[in-house]
Structure 1
Amino acid sequence: MTSLEQVQGARSFLFVPGDRPERFDKAAAAGADLVIVDLEDAVVAEHKRAARDAVVAWLTDGGSACVRVNAAGSPEHEDDVAALAGASGLVAVVLPKADDPALADAVSARCGVPVVALVESAAGMLRAAELARAEGVARLAFGHLDYAVDLGADNGRTAMLHGRSTLVLASRGAGLPGPVDGVTVTLDDPAVLAEDLAHARELGFTGKLLIHPRQVEGTHAAYRPSSDEVAWAEKVLSAVSDTDGGAVRVDGDMVDAPVIARARDVLRRKDR
């Protein structure tokens, strides 16, 4: 599977701090679709150089992960990108504070992997459609906590609805998979994670950023269709296959091309 396929098909992206190399293998074994080794927010300034060296060493010694670099304009950004260029285990670069499609393309070209554009500001949201169409961008992601701070808004669902919907539309318009939702900071109540996932999935998100391994299975379960959904999809496709292409009704509902496409997607996801 290519890096692009891994990034575009991933449901779960599990963060691990870049200055904790003893956790890298544990994160990789936690069952997430992809790991993000973090050189940005999780690492204090005085540890950033050592963290970068540890991440590159792990990636060149068999490790495989995405890496969140420091934001453009920060003292560490250029060193991060230069160090990651050619790292054999690098799957993607997560670009924080993304608001410049040309920069995303440049980072992708230099590192030889796709970019996940992490939208965390009003400037980035206003250019979401451009970011999604950038050649090097494989996925959009939502940093809703920083976005709320930038807007001076609450980070609840109502305040963040416009931002989430904007990223979904931008992704779809550019032919990308649904975007990746931001983190759930509550770790001790699985119901909070489930509610966040249900909301994001309803809007069209197809992945989530995670901050603890215990969030992995709940995330995968949320994106796995229920038995009722699978039964419905099988009934729809069976009914369609029994016709010569004419109109068909299933449980009183008319089945057309969008319904058939949804049924096929349900069956595609059932064994993940």
Structure 2
Amino acid sequence: MTLAHTPAGAASAAPAPARVALARTWMLRSPLAGGLDTAADVLVLDLEDGLPAGRKAEGRDRVRRAAAESPVWLRISAAGTRDGEDDLALGRELDDRLAGVVLAMCAGPDDVAHVAGSLPEGVPVVAMIESAAALLRAPAIAAHPATRRLAFGTGDFRRDTGMGADRLALSWPRAQLVVASAAAGIAGPIDGPCGPADQARDAAVHAVAMGFTGTLALHDAAVAGAHAGFTPAPDEVERARALLGETPDGPVDGSYAPTLARARALVERAEALAAL
């Protein structure tokens, strides 16, 4: 399921908004790297960190050529910066060949409003939370109508806050993004890059436990492990179906309804992913 690059003749059963909400892996790739093939759910051509300052124009030309083949997702530079405005101009030029944008260094809901107002109507925005100030504004960012997902820019967030990479250290900011997303009624957030192939599944399992439903990725070799971690396992689905099919033969306690709700959500997610 590569949202912007569906193979010729293939079709998805889910409408585009549902696919954005369900996407597990978001591959960040420099336009200079060449090649649009990936096993990731979404390929994002990275105009921010994926391009050296002296090669921005060249990278945008590569994007134009890629968009001629299929609509593209772009990671764009921070709103209000010179590079960000140039990226938005490219997005307007692409028009219906622009599938969506990942907004780097989103500082607040005004940034989302500026980006959404500068692009063709309805272009989905994934807002990257990469600083302490942005984290505190995450509920308002998530609540903006153009925001479809939040993404955690772990590298820049750690640089801004001085936090280490330890999971315990990052558990509080991760939880804040999950809560903000849930309160806004949007899909669970996208975690920072899942790391190399041998760490991807473990990272995804941890992210799922935190409430995340996707991850950024930098290497195609990591995609299979990430997908395995973010996709409900067959035995989990079987147990959930069995629970939903049972009729209690005695009294139940206050945990019963929440347990059923979690089982139903797991089955629905598994079925939705299988239909993509």
User: What TM-score does the superposition give when structure 2 sets the normalisation length?
Assistant: 0.86
Which residue of structure 2 aligns with residue 65 of structure 1?
Answer: 72
SS in 2 for 1:42: coil
Matched, 1:155 2:174: no
Partner Cα distance (1:107, 1:132) in 2: 14
Question: Unaligned 5+ residue runs, structure 2?
Answer: 1-13
Matched, 1:206 2:216: no
Distance 1:158 1:124, change over 3 A: same
Q: CA offsets per residue over residues 78-119 of structure 1, 9 Å max, x none?
A: 011011124323221111111121221221232230110000
RMSD of aligned C-alpha atoms?
2.1
| Identity over aligned pairs, percent | 34
Matched, 1:239 2:252: no
Number of residue pairs matched by the alignment = 256
SS in 2 for 1:270: helix
Matched, 1:14 2:21: no
Partner Cα distance (1:42, 1:183) in 2: 14
SS in 2 for 1:32: coil
User: What TM-score does the superposition give when structure 1 sets the normalisation length?
Assistant: 0.87
CA drift at 1:247: 6.8
Which residue of structure 1 aligns with residue 17 of structure 2?
Answer: 4
Q: CA offsets per residue over residues 16-37 of structure 1, 9 Å max, x none?
A: 10223x22x22xxx22111111
The residue type paired with residue 245 of structure 2 is: S
Return 201-210 or 6-15, whichever deviates more. Answer: 6-15
The correspondence of residues 180-259 of structure 1 with structure 2, limited to 5 A, is 180-187=190-197, 190=198, 192-240=199-247, 256-259=256-259
Which residue of structure 2 aligns with residue 37 of structure 1?
Answer: 45
Contact 1:3 1:114 (C-alpha < 8 Å) held by counterparts: no
Partner Cα distance (2:189, 2:209) in 1: 12
Partner Cα distance (1:258, 1:198) in 2: 21
Contact 1:247 1:255 (C-alpha < 8 Å) held by counterparts: no
The correspondence of residues 93-112 of structure 1 with structure 2, limited to 5 A, is 93-112=101-120
Partner Cα distance (1:231, 1:135) in 2: 36
The residue type paired with residue 218 of structure 2 is: I
Distance 1:247 1:99, change over 3 A: farther
Partner Cα distance (1:84, 1:5) in 2: 22
Partner Cα distance (1:208, 1:7) in 2: 13
